[in-house]
A and B are shown apart, each in its own frame.
Chain A
Amino acid sequence: MDKPINRRQWLTRMGTSGVAGGLALAGADSAAANPLTKPSSFQSSIIAESEVMANRASPSIVDGKVIQPARELSVLHETDVLVVGGGPAGICAAIAAKRAGADVTLVERYGHFGGLWTGGLVLLIIGHIVEGKKQVCQGIGEEMMRRLDKLDGAIVDRRAGVAPTVDAEAVKYLMVEMIEEAGVKVFLHCWGVDAVVNGNDVKGAVFESKSGRQVVLAKNVIDATGDGDLLAAAGAEYQRRSHNVGLVSRIGNLDRVDHKRAKGARKPKHLGRHTPVPGVNWVNMHGPEVDGLDVEVLTRMEMNHRKFIWRNMQKTRSTPGYEKVYLVETAPQLGVRMTRVLKGVKTVTLDDLRKKTTFPDSIGVGGSSAGDHQQWQIPYGTLVPEKVDNLLAAGRCISAEMRMGDLVRLIPNCFVTGQAAGVAGAVAVNDGCRVRDVDIDKVRKILRRQEAYLG
């Protein structure tokens, strides 16, 4: 085996063992604090089962139907603003709400923050630059990018008018740091599965985790799941859309391609674009247009894409000059682009973009992925469901016309809507009103104080 691979592997191993070590230490801390743990002479200890799991009642088959008995759910936590989903929108929402003076809880399905940005390996931040070099995404999104600037090897191409590319691990690390600094209560490995609803009022959300089915009660809930899981669960109206579902991967040793030998041969496809790690590219994948909420479809996508990525790598390696290129990793998360979209009080439309419509309740400005494209204002109403109360959408599931979907779902636009939803949630809590009745001028004022750009 080649030396550089060895070196890389060594580095990778060091990295993972470091993280593992850290987790082990954290585990030891919590184990010491846990009264259920009894010391033992073995390496592991016997732990008493929690009440949640002990009290669960399994579904049974009644008249040929599987019936789940009604039961009381344990309340894990109570909070002002509950943010479901820790992707770009969720992180910005949580930090913004906390900074605006609310007690905030963030719940994330995976073991890391960043959603598709990190777990989906969508490393390119695109859609925040308009009309040449103007950057419309400011606020917490820009703050994150600035902090990434200071980390070694975390972000490249941070020049005016250029879309930067980040390192996923750096972003995951930075988000932990920022969430902890802000003082947001976090639950990882928690999958938001249902909403707690009284009439039209959302009162919290139900989570499934290794600890069982539990509830976080909140005054306001922000759905930053991307898929709009909470919107659907709470009974808000939405539209279900299909889009391309792919699987991103990273490939390495591109700096060791022998271009002399590669001359004349057909350049392999799917080589991707550069990342902050030298010689490593991230390879985007479109995949077919499917329903990203169908578990069978998702399963098929995951398996097909893995097969393709591996086989394509073999093809690449059989190209003269490309023998040393290798597959670093596939993304932990499937690249689901668009699923549910809220039917909000207002909707962003392509017409408004073209007419450059300005909104008095603009809570941010979105950009487009293409060079010299216009900016468009995002009205607050796009986050607010028509019927359901105490619930806000943030990220790619905000109310947007079909044609705007590909612009709304871009990472910087998720930063923008996330931050706005967070501030609005906090203002509603502090003023004791419903999120739809929130004083929008106050929200805009706080957003401006948080350095957001509102157009």
Chain B
Amino acid sequence: MNKPTDTQIDGKTGRERRRKYARNAVRAAMLVAAALLLSASGEWRLAVIVPAASPLTTVTSLLATRMFQLASLVGLSVAAITLIRHRLFCRWACPTGTCAECCSMLNRRRLWRPKLPRVGQWVALLTLGGAAIGYPVVAWLDPLAIFSGSFGVLHSATSPRAAWYALGLATVLVLSVVWPGLWCSSLCPLGAFQDLLFRLNLAIRRVMFGKRKRSKKRATVGLSRRVVLASLAGVALAAMARGVRSAAGRVLRPPGAVDEERFTGLCTRCGNCLRACPANIIRPATAEHGISGLLTPELDFTDDYCREDCVRCSQVCPSGAIETISREEKATVSIGLPQVDMDLCLLGDDRDCFLCRSMCPYEAITLEFCEEEYTLTPRIDAAKCPGCGACQTACPTAPKKAIVIVPTVAARE
């Protein structure tokens, strides 16, 4: 600390004050930049940067999928920086943190704040532990995923359920008004993850340079115990969650999605896929497919179908829940298979509807004529059909469509 000078105001030196201004300016700029990246519809690809900038998401994704994607570089660079400068990301960049702090300022009275254990650290460790066996338990608590999700509000006109993703940020903001600073200091898993990273750095330095400080020793022992316990709990939880999922999982996922067992764990609920979709067919799932699938992206072919030349959702997924696929691969990536209900199908009533066949972009539907019954029945060539849903979109029967896409697992049964 410098000597007290004339410029000292509120216990701060001029240099600190300038630093604070600079920091606030950078944070505001970061907030604006993040908002621009998420809302720029022309440059939709860039949206991936925001949630992928989280080192927690990046590390869990790398652990769980063992696949490296370009966006991981952003998260890894942030991780490298925070390794050197403790919580640098929180202080200079985190848009959720900036919003939370603004809300904290609303509360001038600074009421009672609960003394919580390091919830964030447990969450981060649980997630990392789960990621080790492919199911990051609560990856969706990442603040950058929460921030990205809130931009679903912009799309609420075209897909009303998109606004649900904003619940996360709303919760954080309300928490911050009621208990200022609580989110950032003890709840945020990303903050806690940065703590862990920094401690890891300290430990490494100690080992390498032999710098020992007695006072830190106990804390380190406590921390390592916590790390082991929490990670193991994460593994156990992940194993349980995967067990439950495999029984319930029959949901239509975006093309390129990893298997259902891991999907609900990997998905950070950032809403990027939903906002990137030009056809607006991705919507957040309700709890109908199990609580673990809540708010995960689900396809709805009622009004539109999955475009044959579009791979946007796979390019904006920060966590690898939807693996990046190319346009060429698209036709071979299966979403599901159509099932026809001949009691509803207009062909069963001798009506001249050939829409499913006409609208199929992959020419996978043929109409089979039965000589005995004199009826036409749609037949689907499973080898050609990726389950894009064009047939379901086109099907004119109401309220129930005669042809619907069901997940491949369910279709095979």
B369 A289 Cβ-Cβ under 8 A: yes
Interface size of A by CB at 8 A reads 27
A369 B398 Cβ-Cβ under 8 A: no
Given contacts A283-B350, A371-B396, A406-B354, whether A288 and B369 have CB atoms under 8 Å apart is yes
Rounded to whole Å, the gap between the CB of B354 and the closest CB of chain A is 5
Given contacts A270-B350, A284-B352, A350-B359, whether A370 and B369 have CB atoms under 8 Å apart is no
Within 8 A of A (CB), among B348-398: 350-355, 358-359, 367, 369, 371, 373-376, 394-396, 398
Rounded to whole Å, the gap between the CB of B93 and the closest CB of chain A is 41
Alpha-carbon distance A378/B375, docked complex (angstroms): 32
B396 A370 Cβ-Cβ under 8 A: yes
Q: Which of B359, B374, B396 contacts A270 (CB 8 A)?
A: B374
Alpha-carbon distance A203/B376, docked complex (angstroms): 43
Q: Which residues of A contact B351 (CB under 8 A)?
A: 273, 284
Given contacts A285-B350, A286-B350, A406-B355, whether A269 and B396 have CB atoms under 8 Å apart is no
Question: Quick one: closest A residue to B396, CB to CB?
Answer: A370
Within 8 A of B (CB), among A187-241: none
Given contacts A289-B367, A370-B355, whether A284 and B350 have CB atoms under 8 Å apart is yes
Rounded to whole Å, the gap between the CB of B359 and the closest CB of chain A is 7
Q: Which of A285, A288, A406 contacts B358 (CB 8 A)?
A: A406
Alpha-carbon distance A244/B352, docked complex (angstroms): 10
Most buried by A among B350, B352, B371, B375: B352
Alpha-carbon distance A373/B352, docked complex (angstroms): 16
Question: Quick one: closest B residue to A122, CB to CB?
Answer: B352
Alpha-carbon distance A16/B240, docked complex (angstroms): 80
Rounded to whole Å, the gap between the CB of A89 and the closest CB of chain B is 18
Rounded to whole Å, the gap between the CB of A443 and the closest CB of chain B is 29
Alpha-carbon distance A286/B351, docked complex (angstroms): 8
* A403 at the binding interface (Cβ < 8 Å): yes
A269 B375 Cβ-Cβ under 8 A: yes
Question: Quick one: closest A residue to B369, CB to CB?
Answer: A288
Q: Which residues of B contact A269 (CB under 8 A)?
A: 373, 375
Q: Which residues of B contact A406 (CB under 8 A)?
A: 352, 354-355, 358
* B347 at the binding interface (Cβ < 8 Å): yes
B398 A371 Cβ-Cβ under 8 A: yes
A286 B373 Cβ-Cβ under 8 A: no
Rounded to whole Å, the gap between the CB of B379 and the closest CB of chain A is 12
Q: Which residues of B contact A273 (CB under 8 A)?
A: 351
Alpha-carbon distance A350/B363, docked complex (angstroms): 14
Rounded to whole Å, the gap between the CB of B149 and the closest CB of chain A is 30
* A183 at the binding interface (Cβ < 8 Å): no
Q: Which residues of A contact B398 (CB under 8 A)?
A: 371
Q: Which residues of B contact A286 (CB under 8 A)?
A: 347, 350, 352, 367, 369, 374-376
Rounded to whole Å, the gap between the CB of B384 and the closest CB of chain A is 15
A244 B376 Cβ-Cβ under 8 A: yes
Query: Digit string of B394-405 for contact with A (CB within 8 Å is 1, else 0)?
Result: 111010000000
Alpha-carbon distance A404/B355, docked complex (angstroms): 10
Question: Quick one: closest B residue to A243, CB to CB?
Answer: B354
Query: Digit string of B316-356 for contact with A (CB within 8 Å is 1, else 0)?
Result: 00000000000000000000000000000001001111110
Rounded to whole Å, the gap between the CB of A402 and the closest CB of chain B is 8
Q: Which 7 residue pairs spanning A and B have beta carbons closest together?
A: A370-B396, A288-B369, A284-B350, A286-B376, A406-B354, A403-B358, A371-B396
The 17 sampled A-B contact pairs (Cβ below 8 Å) are A244-B369, A269-B373, A269-B375, A283-B350, A284-B352, A285-B350, A285-B374, A286-B350, A286-B369, A286-B375, A289-B369, A350-B358, A350-B359, A370-B395, A404-B358, A406-B355, A406-B358
Q: Taking beta carbons and an 8 Å cutoff, which residues of B are in contact with A? A: 347, 350-355, 358-359, 367, 369, 371, 373-376, 394-396, 398
A284-B351, A406-B358 given; name 18 further pairs at CB < 8 Å. A126-B352, A244-B376, A273-B351, A284-B350, A284-B352, A286-B347, A286-B350, A286-B374, A287-B374, A308-B374, A312-B374, A337-B352, A369-B353, A370-B355, A370-B396, A403-B358, A404-B358, A405-B358
